[in-house]
Amino acid sequence: MITADQVLAGRDTLLAATGHHPYARHALWRDHDAHGWRRDGAVGWLLPESFPTTTSRPGDPRIVDWYGIHDGDRLVACGADRSRGDVGFLAGLTVATDRRGRGLGAALTAGMTRALFARYDHVALGVYTDNVGAIRLYRRLGYTDTEPRTSVHLG
């Protein structure tokens, strides 16, 4: 788990420091599993408020683990490891609406990416095309456009 006081400003500083964050540090040794943080109640509270359209929810059997950033007792950012096969997959990444613009999304995404790269040769994520801020962040972190998809929600 990354705590809010460990979030660093600036991309280079952030990327250089992700190995020092508690949950990303597990990614530095290939003989250890990366450890996420799991507390479905807190995740279940944050997602409807900050990312109501996500399909990644507590109890979803596709979720391997949850990662989060805590500020005191409050979960302020979270993301799901929804990896399958030989691809690490980040899903449901979100930051509490009142905490956006402070680098928490970058810290979470960079840390999760590093943790998943310890176990997988490829790491991917999905993003809605109208989420320009997230797309800009993901490109800064090294993600590229490779496979545009269309999705619909039924029911």
- Read off the pLDDT of residues 134-153 as tens digits, 9 standing for 90 and up: 888 888 888 887 666 555 55
Residues whose CB is less than 8 angstroms from the CB of residue 122 and which lie 6 or more positions away in sequence, other chains included: 86, 87, 88
Check pLDDT > 50 for residue 46. yes
The helix or strand, by DSSP H or E, that contains position 113, with its residue range, turns out to be: helix 104-117
Residue 96: CB atoms within 10 Å: 18
Most confident by average pLDDT, 8-12, 44-48, 52-56, 115-119: 115-119
Q: What is the mean pLDDT of residues 95-122?
A: 89
Architecture, CATH, for domain 2-140: 3-Layer(aba) Sandwich (3.40)
Cα atoms in the Cβ-side hemisphere of radius 13 Å centred on 4: 14
CA atoms of 120 and 116, how far apart (whole Å): 6
Check pLDDT > 50 for residue 59. yes
Reported residue count of the chain is 155
- Read off the pLDDT of residues 17-39 as tens digits, 9 standing for 90 and up: 444 333 332 222 233 333 344 44
Domain ranges of the chain: 2-140
What's the pTM? 0.66
